Structure 1
């Protein structure tokens, strides 16, 4: 079954004490669908062609498990048979044990995968559309075309850059305040205030384009190379915890089944809901926060540090390490009534320094977001993550350009 001089790479996997059976190499008897967890969903992630050999882990079920991206793939046992004859264990290219490179490819269509970096080589299978998949390395063929080297079931395989793009990061969208046009008299010229109409149109566009909304827990998995995620993915965040979020953003997000994160200034949580007043900045109450928990995850925007000093600078920049650390810890405790996993921070007004970053880490946060413009990529400093603003005046074409998979300027 070895074609075009491709060296079959066989690598024995040690399974650890207590495992039922060691990994073994099996051969597909026909074209076989493969499945894997992508974000929160189990999806058909592609096909292996007949005659392909992959390393699988036998389990007590109707399917085998194998390594797929940063997670586990599944294949029906009925599509596989033991490899016939003696196969020498060999790692001819020396790449199977190489760590992943903080790079992914993204598929926008069903994408062919080959046994060698050559479109004339034997087809290995298909990767389904709307996937992010880790790249081991990039190389050029004799025609100077770029190929992505990937690993599927402990086999090296290759995807042409003509068929898939390099991943340029996940957009994390930032919102604050939302008002209806007719009631917005005070904040009409505030860039951080958007209209109900614009927000609804933007969420409708994301839904129509097939985007998945990620939690920050999933984004952490992406940053740390630990989770398989779709290509069309976005994170939606709201800073401050304003009442307009529960009044206007929540119904739209809930209608589309979207998830979002609200960074809450914990000292400003109200004991009881306030009567709606579009002319003032009102904050959500305990009951309002509880009511939107099915859609929103609550994370920290500090406790008392969301203020500016006399020079109109964030006060966090002038506070001591001990003061910042105590505030972060108090914020996490205050939010624990809504969420036992307060692991993420948004710096007030985007202000941070080395002291704040150290305090965030020491306080137990896993990641922190800034207001620096850009997308989040694997390997980024988890305490300096970038975000994007989509303004009230931005067209959907502008939004499309901002969040599409294009290189950052």
Structure 2
């Protein structure tokens, strides 16, 4: 059994207090990142240090694939750290913390959002990194598929992967595979998916796919419907320990 955590924006609390921000992405898609998807640098540092100091074992995607494909046992207190969308704050604030603690993580990269050229850190926007900036974090982050241009939504119940034809979805996903290091692992945009989404990934040969449903993952969990826990900035350490199943 293992737990997967998902983060988006990691910012100082004073920046979070300024409120929700519009995203700024290369393909021009417009949206706003909900505040529950932010976590503060202060909390994130304390949470990662707590995991490191209390014997948690940080997983790689290869270990999880082996767990489902070959029944290879996972270590006790197994945890996977993931990030979505490749925001600037992940490099500015999260990456140094993870590197200092020697904690590996996965970055689900929507390649159509990623810029060709780097820009100065934008406090007023949830701005995405450049390809070169993502590559500079490869000693910590493994990149995986989060669609190319299909990281879009209608409301809170339907993503573009759900309304486009299977052929178009498959083509977009395969296009993203040109930009990531692990081409067998996917995260559903916004955590939204349906039976069609799972079928497309099965036909494309994906081994793992992550939702945003909260829970632990066990051997009985469908590897194309893996759960992830969002860690919001409002969490206290007591809340965090409850998520870990310690309280």
TM-score, scaled relative to structure 1: 0.55
CA distance in 1, matches of 2:126, 2:9: 8
Whose Rg is larger? 1
CA distance in 1, matches of 2:246, 2:74: 14
The total of aligned residue pairs comes to 234
Alpha carbons of 1:389 and 1:312: their partners in 2 closer, same or farther (altered >3 Å)? closer
Larger RCO (alpha carbons 8 Å, 6+ apart):
2
1:208-258 superposed Cα distances (whole Å, 9 cap, x missing partner): 111121112212222334323220221000011111111111000011110
1:306-360 superposed Cα distances (whole Å, 9 cap, x missing partner): 111368632222111111111111111232xxx2x32100000111111111111
Q: Paired residue for 1:374? A: 215
Decide which of 345, 359, 366 is 2:186's aligned counterpart: 345
Mapped contact 2:109–2:143 kept (Cα < 8 A): yes
Q: Paired residue for 1:137? A: none
Alpha carbons of 1:377 and 1:225: their partners in 2 closer, same or farther (altered >3 Å)? farther
Mapping for residues 10-25 of structure 1, pairs under 5 Å? none
CA distance in 1, matches of 2:19, 2:156: 24
Query: For the aligned residues, what is the CA RMSD?
Result: 1.8
Deviation at 1:279, TM superposition (A): 1.1
1:79-108 superposed Cα distances (whole Å, 9 cap, x missing partner): xxxxxxxxxxxxxxxxxxxxxxxxxxxxxx
Q: Which runs of 5+ in 1 are unaligned?
A: 1-168
Alpha carbons of 1:312 and 1:225: their partners in 2 closer, same or farther (altered >3 Å)? closer
Mapping for residues 231-380 of structure 1, pairs under 5 Å? 231-309=76-154, 313-335=158-180, 339=181, 341-380=182-221
Q: Paired residue for 2:45? A: 200
Q: Which runs of 5+ in 2 are unaligned?
A: 22-33
Q: Which moved more, 1:358-367 or 1:260-269?
A: 358-367
1:216 and 2:61 correspond? yes
TM-score, scaled relative to structure 2: 0.89
Partner of 1:334, secondary structure, is: coil
Mapped contact 2:37–2:231 kept (Cα < 8 A): no
Mapped contact 1:205–1:396 kept (Cα < 8 A): no
Q: Please identify which structure carries the higher helix content.
A: 2
CA distance in 2, matches of 1:228, 1:255: 28
Decide which of 182, 190, 211 is 2:14's aligned counterpart: 182
Partner of 1:201, secondary structure, is: helix
Q: Paired residue for 2:230? A: 389
